[in-house]
Amino acid sequence: MRLSAKITVLAAALLSLSFQLMRAQEGESFLRNLQGRDTALVGDRLRYGASLGAVEEGTSFALPDLQAASNDSVTVLSPWKMDTLRLRKARKGRPAEMDLEISLDLTCFEEGTLALPAIPLLRRLPSGETDTLLFEGRSVDVRLMPVDTAGYVPHDLRGQVKYPLTFRETLPYAAGILLLALAVVLICLLVRRRKARREGLGTVEAPHIVALRKLEAYRGGKLWAPEKQKQFYSGVTDVLREYMAARYGFGAQEMTTAEIFALLSKTDLQKALYDEMKLLFETSDFVKFAKLTVSDEENAKVLPQAIRFVTETYQEVLDKEAAQAAAGEKEA
């Protein structure tokens, strides 16, 4: 229901007020066939109502309850609706006005001429005056669908009509299946590619290759500058700790310098390499914890010493493997 400004619909109970109301004959109501036919057939939906012109803003209405008028012949299908057809703005000395239309939907289930009840409206003006507007009822001629009784032949109910399937109807389904197949193929390719990448990443490199590659990253960087010495020594010794853990099989990452070299002293590590690495680790501890500043000459020796330790200790492994292979061939 579309209303503007202060137009309101009062309760239908206002019609039962006991004071005397002045009646004003407003003319006929309207009746429209919503099916667009000029003849009303049994079961057609009809719109029944009245039009109000030049209604002042602030006017209120109470509508009768026609639901009680429903019977076997006429059935009310909807409550009252009020629509604003036209709105005229307020001018000097004149309030805003509008044209309204009130209506409800009904239907008829009995053939013949049926009389619809009159439409009384209780109107309350903005000034407080109250009166009743009465719209004359309408009659509707309801008919049945005409049947040619002369040539009429009864037939049984027809079965459901089956139409052939066209290419246009199957095209969306074919396109959907094709897109689904492409999506499955793409998912399979992505899964296979990711699996291959994981397998490639999972390839274990030799410990000395990993250590030498990480140590090479410190070459030429001049990280032994006084403000960067802590980062330089920590990085180099961390690489050597990881290599020792892989080469000798103990957790060098979590050990102190004393613990690491206590274990290295029990291995077949050459004494010169042992002393060189011990001095390197002790210097690193002083740089990290005592803020020792090392000269450039000593810093330049760190990286070659670490690389020599990795290559020589791993060469021992290669020599042992070669000797075992040669011994196996002799025995064979």
Question: Would you write out the chain's pLDDT as a tens digit for each of its 332 residues?
Answer: 333 322 333 333 233 322 222 333 456 788 888 988 878 888 899 999 999 888 888 888 888 888 776 777 888 888 899 898 888 888 887 888 888 899 999 898 888 888 888 888 888 988 888 988 889 888 888 988 777 677 777 778 888 888 888 888 889 999 999 999 999 999 999 998 888 777 655 556 788 888 888 888 887 666 666 777 888 888 889 999 998 888 888 888 888 989 989 988 888 888 888 899 899 999 888 888 888 888 888 888 888 888 888 888 887 767 676 666 666 666 65
Q: What is the pLDDT of residue 187?
A: 93
139-143 and 30-33 strand pairing: unpaired
Assigned token pair, 12: 């239908």
HSE value, Cβ hemisphere, 13 Å, CA-based, for 86: 8
Residue 145 tokens read as 């669908």
Question: Per residue, what are the HEC states of the chain?
Answer: CCCCCCCEEECHHHHHCCCCCEEEEEEECEEEECCCCCCEECCCEEEEEEEEEEEECCCEEECCCHHHHCCCCEEECCCCEEEEEEEECCECCECCEEEEEEEEEEEECCCEEEECCCEEEEEECCCCCEEEEEEECCEEEEECCCCCCCCCCCCCCCCCCCCCCCHHHHHHHHHHHHHHHHHHHHHHHHHHHHHHHHHHHCCCCCHHHHHHHHHHCCCCCCCCCCCCHHHHHHHHHHHHHHHHHHHHCCCHHHCCHHHHHHHHCCCCCCHHHHHHHHHHHHHHHHHHHCCCCCCHHHHHHHHHHHHHHHHHHHHHHHHHHHHHHHHHHHHC
What is the phi/psi pair of residue 311, to 5°? -65, -40
Residue 287 phi, psi dihedral angles, 5° rounding: -65, -40
- Long-range contacts: 222-231, Cβ < 8 Å, 24+? 224/294, 224/296, 224/299, 224/300, 224/302, 226/293, 229/287, 229/293, 229/294, 229/299, 230/287, 230/288
Please classify residue 100 by burial: count the beta carbons closer than 10 Å to its beta carbon, then call 0-12 exposed, 13-18 middle and 19+ buried: buried
- Beta bridge mates, 97: 56, 88
For residue 332, the model assigns a pLDDT of: 57
Q: Which pLDDT value is given to residue 200?
A: 58
Q: Which two tokens stand for residue 79?
A: 């409550």
